[in-house]
Chains A and B, each alone.
Chain A
């Protein structure tokens, strides 16, 4: 296995938090390596961002490109980690195989993944995540003229619907499981933060004419081999819609697997625990953005700046950080409260609904288990290729389990890569 020259700072994740962290870290003169599983920079929200194409990330990317001490590697993931604080090596997996990357400090900016909830028919091709469909469109999926129902929970649904509309899809409606009063309260909280008002106006324009159904959730999806209809419960009534895609996402869950490998402690809500300077419980490991709690792009950029400065000893540049952090945390709390998942969602799966997609483990099998660990041992739930990334958060909602226990390698490796090492 090739061993690369050590870097001062390895930033894992090239979304808003990671890119901002890299830029601020680079200002200290440190050499910085940014890696991401995607082929391009931008993370999920700025996916497809480019330094010479106008967009929200253009300035940031230009500034980064002007730093000779920042390098970028796409299609690269952390497979496992060796060593400790004084000599830490990340084992990176990319299409070229495995390589060893010593890193003095690590900034985790691994973001979040969508929470999927099982309901009858959710495994049909055509049922995808909400953020997922947006990502697929940004990666070239053509949806012009196709009928889409967007369902689930959270402000992401609106951004997704707007993006799909702009790409020419026929958005039949946005089903938000939270009741109207919650969604309205969230609107107020967002407006108070300033800066969000303009964002909201842009969304409103893109979404004109698209129905928004608060208090509505998918009951089941049906079709012969692929999605044909979705049935929504709205108030006391069930409505069935014909569609080509059901984009369903129930909020975001911090992606903490690399953090867990490094031994970072988590909070009760399953995010990476950090102090005011973005330091995790592991010396030399910092974390920023959604991995520390889901709060949106502005908060991610702010935390990226804190992490980038703190990891390179530029604390004096952070005098205003505490006040900004408090403001963002208030927004985050408002978000969580407004979009709390309703208990009815836990009753959606029927006994034969698949919950663990990799191993085809059903709801009937799983509800007889007592914990994530027991389920893993007795049913193979969470033991398949995704290693619990889909069913973990789902079982958390359905059965109240806390999923844990990542095991390296985090990515399935071709045997040839491992053998090439010997």
Chain B
């Protein structure tokens, strides 16, 4: 079972989990803020809306099409993610 670091916190998820689902299960639904400061979370779940962007191992990716892997480091694009 992959163990990844989300915002510096270790999280273990089931095999086959997307990084997005790992984030959501860990309580992060707000993944970023829009230009005008609206909180935003994932919308389409299949790679087309780009609302689920986050930094995984130094690269900005769409977390919904990124499988969770052991040792991954995930950071959000927002500083304020208390959700």
Residues on A lying within 8 angstroms of B by beta carbon are: 37-40, 44, 48, 75, 77, 113-114, 116, 123-129, 131-136, 139-142, 225-226, 255, 354, 357-360, 384-386, 389-390, 412, 414
Contacts and interface: CB of A to CB of B under 8 A. Distances in A.
Contacts of B51: 357, 386
Nearest to B53: A385
Contact of A385 (B20, B50, B83): B50
Contact of A360 (B24, B25, B35): B35
Interface of B: 13-14, 16-18, 20-22, 24-25, 29-31, 34-36, 38-51, 53, 59-60, 64-68, 83
Given A39-B65, A414-B59, A358 B18 contact: no
A125 B39 contact: yes
A136 to B, nearest CB: 5
Contacts of A116: 43-44
A375 B20 CA distance: 32
A175 B34 CA distance: 29
Contacts of A124: 39, 41
* Closest A-B pairs by Cβ, 6 of them: A125-B41, A140-B17, A132-B45, A140-B21, A135-B45, A139-B18
A128 B43 contact: yes
Nearest to B59: A414
B83 A125 contact: yes
Nearest to B46: A135
A340 B49 CA distance: 24
B50 A354 contact: no
Contacts of A48: 16
Contact of A136 (B20, B31, B34, B67): B20
Contacts of A126: 29, 41
B65 A226 contact: no
Contact of B38 (A38, A44, A360, A386): A360
